[in-house]
Structure 1
Amino acid sequence: MATTGGGEAGIAGRIALVTGAGGGIGAAVVEALVSAGAAVAAVDLDGPGARKVADGLPGRVTSFTADVADPAAVARVVDDVERSLGPIGIGVSAAGILRPASVCDTTDEDWAAALAVNATGVFTVLREIARRMVPRREGALVVVGSNAASVPRMGMAAYAASKAAATMLARCLGLELAGSGIRCNVVSPGSTDTPMQRLLWTSDDDAARVIAGDPERFRVGIPLGRIADPADIADAVVFLASDRARHITMQNLLVDGGATLQA
């Protein structure tokens, strides 16, 4: 995303908190927000991963360790960020897990873990940040969801269900916060070149199969003919957090190369 020398309007000079910041899309969001002029709190359960991201962007990123599945830990880290860095003006919930399995093979533990991180974790993070934004009557919240929230995926029911819950949560929150001048939107990636995506691959040919589609698994291919780079998703997040999206809220922006056919 191109930015001016002074940074992106509505982002430059602000404090941003990003969960899932230790790698993949979350790390790309941290880098994009820094490039747009924000100071970023990089939050991840993987403390060393978050510190590595912070060390690569010295002076603009501070790492914090927290498990988004632990509401008390989320409350503490949000307090720590506001106390050490200042009022949070941008919140991005990008933490997520994937434990692929058919519904019949999904364990109680994996189902609970998917909901705890991908849905309840998003709820807790947004709630804690929103509670602080409301008295200030400004701010932008963005959830990194998934196109699996709107299109069934074989072997991904727990993930898809949790992402669908997070998407509707964000839209409801956007409605509740609109009167306070706070926007809440969702960016829903499709297949993106991250460690989570590669977890699903078993051979060097898998990337090509994702692009082409898989009729046996009822999976549509990617019309644009490429798998997304994490930066593609991060650019969409920065846009929705910026003043260029000042009249956009409660929206779900699919960034999937057309894979969902707008379903």
Structure 2
Amino acid sequence: MTGLDGIAAVVTGAAGGIGSRVVEHLAAEGAYVASVDTAHTSVGDRKVAGQDGDAAGSRVTRHGADVADAEAAERILDHVEREHGPVGLLVNVAGVLHTGLLTDLTDTAWQELLAANTTGVLTWCRAVVRRMTPYRRGSVITVASNSAGTPRAGMAAYAASKAAAGALTLGLGLEVARLGIRCNVVCPGSTDTPMLQRMAPTPQARDAVLHGDPTAFRIGIPLGRLADPDDIAAAVVFLASDQARHITLHSLYVDGGAALHG
């Protein structure tokens, strides 16, 4: 029903809490998925997405690469196209998080944020869309953050990198809409992943995420729960699917209402 059966897809940041679930959801819909992450050390090795022997797992290959490495992107895309044909879907999930006061941010941390969260999106969007153009079809989805549109204390640099990634994706979407290529953004809020667990390691910190913290100008999450990575993956699948064929240049907030964003 989604129209994803047999499509060749690429997911960056695919070993992370959200990325791994995106890979699994796409494979379950019948897509052939190239899973790209620095945590993967090999190119083209089979990686089972679910239980050993799961049919969906046979549709996933893993590729080790820094997402900002343009040459690696081209090599991986060559491999994918040889094996499965033209890439029809790119999902940019790769990202790193540095928190703290902006005045305390180091140049190294800033460069890491830009490389993973912004340059990586540019690198893969540019490479994939060039290959989509002759076929006049395709979909690009960038997983950004609700902080990209809502100021968060201690997250200014991260939010800036994610805002840039979102703006880049939507600007590209305007350029390629006439080619039948759709570009959308998913903006998660607090999601139960290892990244959040590092940011809110204590029960008190998690309570502040859920119920708000006036000292940090946060209202909490109106729905009263953290997102599960599956919630984000389901939004990605929807935007990639035929059911969203007339949706482009859209930012979909999946944050339980935390950003108060209409």
Aligned residue number for residue 101 of structure 1: 100
Q: Percent identity?
A: 54
CA contact (8 A) 1:145 1:187 kept: yes
Matches within 5 A, 1:83-162: 83-162=82-161
Aligned residue number for residue 53 of structure 2: none
Q: Deviations over 1:214-236 (max 9, x none)?
A: 10011121000000000000000
| 1:36 matched to 2:29 | yes
Question: What is the SS of the residue equivalent to 1:31?
Answer: helix
TM-score, normalised with respect to structure 1: 0.93
Q: Deviations over 1:13-46 (max 9, x none)?
A: 1111100111210001011111111111111110
TM-score, normalised with respect to structure 2: 0.93
Which aligned runs of 4 or more in structure 1 are off by greater than 6 angstroms?
Answer: 49-52
Letter of the aligned partner of 1:231 in structure 2?
A: D
Letter of the aligned partner of 1:28 in structure 2?
A: R
Distance across 2 between alignment mates of 1:22 and 1:254: 22
Distance across 2 between alignment mates of 1:194 and 1:170: 24
Distance across 2 between alignment mates of 1:54 and 1:63: 10
Aligned residue number for residue 164 of structure 1: 163
Aligned residue number for residue 196 of structure 1: 195
Letter of the aligned partner of 2:124 in structure 1?
A: V
When structure 1 is superposed on structure 2, of 52-61 and 37-46 the one drifting more is: 52-61
CA contact (8 A) 2:186 2:254 kept: yes
Aligned residue number for residue 184 of structure 1: 183
Aligned residue number for residue 6 of structure 2: 13
Pairwise CA distance, 1:71: 2.0
Q: Which runs of 5+ in 2 are unaligned?
A: 51-55
Distance across 2 between alignment mates of 1:16 and 1:153: 33
Aligned residue number for residue 74 of structure 1: 73
- How many residues are matched? 256
Distance across 2 between alignment mates of 1:55 and 1:244: 24
Aligned with 1:54 (options 44, 48, 52): 48
Q: Which runs of 5+ in 1 are unaligned?
A: 1-7
Distance across 2 between alignment mates of 1:95 and 1:59: 23
Q: Output the aligned Cα RMSD.
A: 1.7
Question: What is the SS of the residue equivalent to 2:173?
Answer: helix
Letter of the aligned partner of 1:10 in structure 2?
A: G
Pairwise CA distance, 1:52: 8.9
Letter of the aligned partner of 1:208 in structure 2?
A: D
